[in-house]
Amino acid sequence: MADRHARAGPAPPVRPPPVRATRRGASYDADVLHLQRTIGNRAVRRLLETRTRMLARFAEGEHKLIGDTAWGSAEQFELAPGVKISFGDAVALGDYFESFDRMRDLAGRPGKGAGTRGELLYVLWVDIWDKPAKAKLGEWYDKSAVFHREQLTSYFDSRNIGHFPNPVEGDLKRPRRELDVRRDKEGDPVGGGATYRKWHEEAMRKAYEAGLHYAGVRTEKFDEAVLTDGFACHFLTDAFSASHVTTPRLSIKEYWNKKVPSFDRKIVGWLADKIDHGKWKWYERGGAYLVEGSSIHAAALNKLAHKLTGFGFGDLVSLVVHDVNGSRGVKATVGGKPVTLVGDSGILQKGRVTPKGQATFDAATEAARASIGEVQDAYIAAATSRTDYATFRAGLTKADGLYAGERLMPVPVSDDALAWRYAGVDSFLADARMNEALVEWGRVRGHSFAAGLEDFNPKAQEVVKRVLIAPLTSGDEDQVRQVLREIVDTKVP
CA 302 to chain centre: 28
- pLDDT at residue 284, rounded to an integer: 58
The region that residue 115 occupies, defined by phi over 0 for left and psi between -120 and 50 for alpha, beta otherwise, is left
What does the alpha-carbon distance between residue 56 and residue 219 come to, in Å, rounded to a whole number? 30
Closest CA to 86 of 46, 115, 58, 106: 58
The CA-based angle 128-133-138, given to 5 degrees, is 120
Q: Residue 296 above 60 pLDDT?
A: yes
CA dihedral sign of residues 27, 229, 130, 15: positive
What does the alpha-carbon distance between residue 334 and residue 355 come to, in Å, rounded to a whole number? 18
- pLDDT at residue 216, rounded to an integer: 64
* % the chain with pLDDT above 70: 81
Continuous segment of H or E residues that includes residue 353: strand 352-353
Partners of residue 307 on adjacent β-strands: none
* Beta strands 348-349; 352-353: pairing state: antiparallel
The CA–CA distances, whole Å, from 61 to 343, 348, 408 equal: 14, 8, 22
Continuous segment of H or E residues that includes residue 411: strand 411-412
Q: Residue 198 above 60 pLDDT?
A: yes
Average of pLDDT values for 261-278? 90
Angle at which helix 477-489 crosses helix 263-276, to 10 degrees, equals 100
Average of pLDDT values for 70-79? 90
Chain mean pLDDT for the chain: 83
Average of pLDDT values for 268-294? 67
- Kindly indicate the confidence band of residue 476, based on its pLDDT and cuts at 50, 70 and 90: very high
Q: pLDDT, tens digit, for every residue of 406-464?
A: 999 999 998 777 889 999 999 999 999 999 999 999 998 888 777 766 667 788 888 88
Q: Residue 50 above 70 pLDDT?
A: no
Q: Quick one: DSSP state of residue 261?
A: T
Average of pLDDT values for 220-245? 94
Average of pLDDT values for 200-224? 87
Q: pLDDT, tens digit, for every residue of 354-392?
A: 999 999 999 999 999 999 999 999 998 998 877 889 999
Average of pLDDT values for 171-178? 95
Angle at which helix 192-212 crosses helix 358-383, to 10 degrees, equals 30
Q: Quick one: DSSP state of residue 123?
A: I
CA 171 to chain centre: 21
User: CA 60, 62, 65, 67: dihedral to nearest 10 degrees?
Assistant: -130
What does the alpha-carbon distance between residue 241 and residue 326 come to, in Å, rounded to a whole number? 7
Q: Is the pTM of this model over 0.85?
A: no
How many other C-beta atoms lie within 10 A of the C-beta of residue 398? 11
Q: Residue 37 above 60 pLDDT?
A: no
Average of pLDDT values for 32-43? 38
